[in-house]
Structure 1
Amino acid sequence: MATNMGTVRRRLLGGELRRARESAGRKAEETAAHLECSMSKISRIENGMSPVKARDVRDLLEWYGVTDPAQVKAVMQLHKDAQEQGWWEPYEDQLPSGMATYAGFECEAVALRAYEPMFVHGLLQTEDYARAVISAANPSQAETVENLVRFRMQRQQVQAERDEPVQLWVVLEESTLRRPVGGREVMAAQIEHLITAAARPDVTLQIMPSAKGAHAAMAGAFALMEFAAAIPTVIYIDSIAGNLYLEKEREVRAFAQTFDLVRAAGPDPRKPPQRSRPSQGRCAHHEHHHRPPPGHAPGGPTRLAQEQPQLRQRGLRRSRHRRAPRRSPRLEGHQQAPPAHRPAAVADLPHPHRHQRRVLTRAEGGRSGRETVARTSR
């Protein structure tokens, strides 16, 4: 599939105009005054973020002293190519500011590296997951939600039809998979989709365990988009306040280093993720790192009196050495039977972040003794 190249061509055009201005010794302020526009518009034109009229391109080349016919022809051809309409044009009125530019970059990138702490990356989302995410941000706007869902699915279709799809490397936080976006069934289907996608040769997926603690990218989500030829890498940062594009060499180098640190801290991407148990709402990482103790039966308590006699002895020993309760003066002379101890059921309470064992005593109604209950939290 031949993808639209307008966004990249616009960046190339902006780069040519910037180099021509710098060679002529012109400042951005002078250029803005010459075109009778703002400096921010000159910046957007030179960064490829804003279209420019053919008349303005010719005027700028003349003002910069570019008179070589071959160079003028090449620049004007870039301008013509940059006017090509993108596949996202039907959605542009409802897209967030700057998203059309991102769609253009994405379908032209040869490699995309992304860190996602909150959501599954858009190119890896199922339709139901995408609908749940978009609906949460656009409540009571059913038509807008459906249009944005179609736009997101179209992004995936564009990549699937490319002769050489973008090489996608995504690092997701474990908490992303634990959040039941759209409910358990939707999330279970999303996890299965991720497992399938991770098997593709153009996708590398890492799940950053929560147990890793702090790491270099905790400031927020970002993406690096790399292009062919001499087109510079673009950094994309999305937030509620809007999106930001960075392409200065110093900025690109800093984000590239951050991503390298994050993926180095994550698990080996060559090991495929394991399927989770959707009914329990657990992800692959939880199944691997938080396995239940021996004898555990999912969905109910575990009887360990015979399988783990040492646990029974431990409970009895603790109960035997427990300090006797102080008698109240009102009960003096009252004969009380000594407490009888016997082992009981052990409930397994899975917990992802702590491991502790405690012994509780519980008076049984209608019985003279006390029951020792050992409970394990994981």
Structure 2
Amino acid sequence: MTFGQGPTTNRRRLRLSLRKLREDRGLTLEDVRKKMEWSLSKILRIETGTVGISVNDLKVLLSFYEVSDPATVEQLLDLARQSRQRHWASEYREVVSPAYMDFLGYEDDACRITQFHPLVVPGLLQTEEYARAVVIATTLTPVDDDVIEARVRLRMARQRRLFGTLRHRRVRFLIDDDVLHKPLWDQAVIYAQLSRLIDLCDHPEIDVGIVRRDAKVPARLTGPFSLHEFESNLDPDVVYLDNMPNDVALVDDVQVIDRYKRAIVDLFQHADTGGDARVRLLEIRNSFRPSEDHSTEGVA
């Protein structure tokens, strides 16, 4: 499998192709329902990517659409096969939403990821202790401890998968300066989290921007989001809005995504980056010394 083509992306390529084939032929969903003798909900779920489509069903559908070119047929059948492959995070399906599983798939396939969070450190940068505190604090309904721990393990697995090997992609993070001043949890947790951010400033594939406290930029009021950009022009960029630790909402409207891209540019223009970000993080970390054991720490 080539880079940028996991099961989630392949499923999207397939559903977009099938919808285009139907629309190009001037067919409605009702036309397809009558010919295929499927329920309308099944057709809708296939075209929205909620469910996959079997190879046999796809062959019949392509015949109805009069797709006869062998190469095109095989390409679409291959997409159907690949889209049904097991996702690496399948073991966590019971503790996160289906939308979050799709989010993980797009995260896996993106060639560039940009995340902004105005309230907490983005999940891909969190230490395990910080992640556990965030998951507990943002879980509104009572859940068992093993669900909390599973969600934390998933977050750590995301980090290992993203950063553990060179994947020829860029990852950018924007963190509001105010986030780093909030003593929301034990100071040792905050101190360790700041130390992690300082280390990541030296990572060649990571850009960290600290949006300055005095920055008067409207985008600071934007809620948390993640922009996923893809290598192939067959895969339109997407934005995910971060709600709860196990829930996200997809935005795939091109005009809306362009507005998020402009917001990212504005935020980076008002952010400390590179060495300036590292210096700023060191300054903030010095105000969160958890004990005298760290009295000599505070320099690179």
TM-score, normalization by structure 2: 0.84
Q: Which has the higher contact order (CA 8 A, sep 6+)?
A: 2
Q: Equivalent residue for 2:99?
A: 98
1:235 and 2:273 aligned: no
1:118 and 2:96 aligned: no
**In structure 2, do the counterparts of structure 1 residues 136 and 100 end up closer, same or farther at CA, with 3 Å as the change threshold?**
same
Contact 2:181 2:284 (8 Å CA) reproduced: no
Contact 1:115 1:171 (8 Å CA) reproduced: yes
Q: Which stretch has the larger CA shift, 268-277 or 213-222?
A: 268-277
Residue 232 (structure 1) shift: 1.1
Deviations 1:308-335 (A, max 9, x none): xxxxxxxxxxxxxxxxxxxxxxxxxxxx
Residue 35 (structure 1) shift: 5.6
Q: Equivalent residue for 2:266?
A: 261
1:219 and 2:222 aligned: yes
Q: Equivalent residue for 2:38?
A: 36
Contact 1:128 1:182 (8 Å CA) reproduced: no
**SS of 2:82 mapped into structure 1:** helix
How many residue pairs end up in the alignment? 281
Contact 1:2 1:162 (8 Å CA) reproduced: no
Mark the runs of 5 or more structure 1 residues left unpaired by the alignment: 283-378
> Which one of the candidate residues 192, 196, 201 is aligned to 1:198?
201
**SS of 2:115 mapped into structure 1:** strand
Residue 112 (structure 1) shift: 0.4
Q: Which stretch has the larger CA shift, 145-154 or 45-54?
A: 45-54
Deviations 1:282-305 (A, max 9, x none): 9xxxxxxxxxxxxxxxxxxxxxxx
Residue 193 (structure 1) shift: 0.1
**In structure 2, do the counterparts of structure 1 residues 108 and 128 end up closer, same or farther at CA, with 3 Å as the change threshold?**
same
**In structure 2, do the counterparts of structure 1 residues 137 and 89 end up closer, same or farther at CA, with 3 Å as the change threshold?**
same
- Provide the aligned C-alpha RMSD in A: 2.6
Question: Aligned partners of 1:81, 1:140: CA distance in 2, in Å?
Answer: 34
**In structure 2, do the counterparts of structure 1 residues 261 and 38 end up closer, same or farther at CA, with 3 Å as the change threshold?**
farther
Residue 248 (structure 1) shift: 2.8
- What letter is aligned with 2:24? S
Residue 273 (structure 1) shift: 1.9
Question: Aligned partners of 2:127, 2:175: CA distance in 1, in Å?
Answer: 16
**In structure 2, do the counterparts of structure 1 residues 87 and 149 end up closer, same or farther at CA, with 3 Å as the change threshold?**
same
**SS of 1:118 mapped into structure 2:** coil
Q: Which stretch has the larger CA shift, 244-253 or 127-136?
A: 244-253
Q: Equivalent residue for 2:19?
A: 18
Rg larger for: 1
- Share of identical aligned residues, percent? 26
Q: Equivalent residue for 2:250?
A: 245
- What letter is aligned with 1:52? I
**In structure 2, do the counterparts of structure 1 residues 28 and 182 end up closer, same or farther at CA, with 3 Å as the change threshold?**
farther
1:157 and 2:164 aligned: no
**SS of 1:193 mapped into structure 2:** helix
Q: Equivalent residue for 1:280?
A: 287
Residue 209 (structure 1) shift: 2.1
Question: Aligned partners of 2:120, 2:94: CA distance in 1, in Å?
Answer: 24
Question: Aligned partners of 2:272, 2:284: CA distance in 1, in Å?
Answer: 20
Question: Aligned partners of 1:94, 1:215: CA distance in 2, in Å?
Answer: 35
For residues 332-347 of structure 1, the aligned pairs below 5 Å read: none
**SS of 1:162 mapped into structure 2:** coil
For residues 359-370 of structure 1, the aligned pairs below 5 Å read: none
Q: Equivalent residue for 2:72?
A: 71
Question: Aligned partners of 1:205, 1:158: CA distance in 2, in Å?
Answer: 19
**SS of 1:212 mapped into structure 2:** coil
Q: Equivalent residue for 1:326?
A: none
**In structure 2, do the counterparts of structure 1 residues 70 and 97 end up closer, same or farther at CA, with 3 Å as the change threshold?**
closer
Residue 148 (structure 1) shift: 0.6
Question: Aligned partners of 2:85, 2:228: CA distance in 1, in Å?
Answer: 21
TM-score, normalization by structure 1: 0.68
Question: Aligned partners of 2:219, 2:212: CA distance in 1, in Å?
Answer: 14
Question: Aligned partners of 2:122, 2:285: CA distance in 1, in Å?
Answer: 20
Residue 59 (structure 1) shift: 2.8
Question: Aligned partners of 1:43, 1:264: CA distance in 2, in Å?
Answer: 42
Question: Aligned partners of 2:249, 2:216: CA distance in 1, in Å?
Answer: 27
Residue 49 (structure 1) shift: 4.6
Contact 1:54 1:76 (8 Å CA) reproduced: yes
**SS of 2:60 mapped into structure 1:** helix
Contact 1:207 1:266 (8 Å CA) reproduced: yes
More helix by share: 2
Question: Aligned partners of 1:2, 1:202: CA distance in 2, in Å?
Answer: 20
